[in-house]
Amino acid sequence: MLILVLNQKESACLLSSDFRSENPLTQTRTFHTRNRWQTFHGNAKMTKKQRKIFYATIFILGIFSMVWQVVIYRNTIIELSILIGIILVVGFIAFLLDFKNYGKTYKYSGIGLYFYSSMHYVCGFGFLACTIFMLTNYYLADEKTTTENYEIIDRTFLPKRPGKAGSENKPVFVINYKGKRKELVFYPKFYEKMELYKSVEFEIRDGFFGFDVLKNKKLIE
């Protein structure tokens, strides 16, 4: 107990329980709060097995998302270098932030550790980030559309996949879109008559990130 003298006529008594550091209730409350945080922080960390599942899942999702991204890329006016840049930058950031955890998860060492971890970060996190970027630009594009017609300046095709049943040649028509060479892939049914088509007509929308989106493509003879 402490006694404070306020003046010659008055005095006040302060008990030990009035101080937070000496109050048993406060000490108990502080202990439980700290204990809960330590428990949560410990549970938040993934085990080695969980990290393996996590890395494998991200890698598989990244690979499969690239297939979807290719379809969106064919109908978006964007430089390939921009997409490669997104993939590499995101992969590099993921490498810097998570490399220690990756090293604790797998038994790689030396060059192998850097090679496999980089492959996981680029193909997993990088591909996923790039796909999200492309999908956002495409599906959140402005509803306002304009219809334009462009002359076909070149023709080629994507060959059918050998050994795959039902695979056919896909015609590819090249146009000059505002000074940029753009290849437009069409269904196999247009392959036989590809030499007869003179121009391509399509609707244009302003993408969410400013990259033009092409929809409802039509071949004009």
The confidence score (pLDDT) of residue 10 equals: 47
pLDDT in tens, 25-64: 544 454 454 555 444 344 457 788 888 899 999 999 999 9
Domain ranges within the chain, ordered by starting residue: 2-44, 48-139, 145-220
Percent share of the chain, pLDDT over 90: 57
Q: Token digits for 68?
A: 């979807």
Q: Does domain 145-220 fall into CATH 2.40.50?
A: yes
Rounded CA-CA distance 105/45 in Å is 13
108: how many CB neighbours lie within 10 A of its CB? 14
| pLDDT of 99 above 60 | yes
Question: How many residues can be counted in the chain?
Answer: 221
Sign of CA dihedral 101, 104, 107, 110: positive
Phi, psi of 25 (to 5 degrees): -65, -40
**Best CA proximity match to 177, nearest among 68, 69, 76, 80:** 76
Are the CB atoms for 101 and 201 separated by under 8 Å?
no
Please identify which residue in the block is written with the tokens 């003298």. Answer: 5
pLDDT in tens, 145-184: 999 999 999 999 988 877 676 678 899 999 999 888 999 9
Burial of 112 (0-12, 13-18, 19+ CB in 10 A): exposed
Q: Is the pTM for the entire model greater than 0.75? A: no
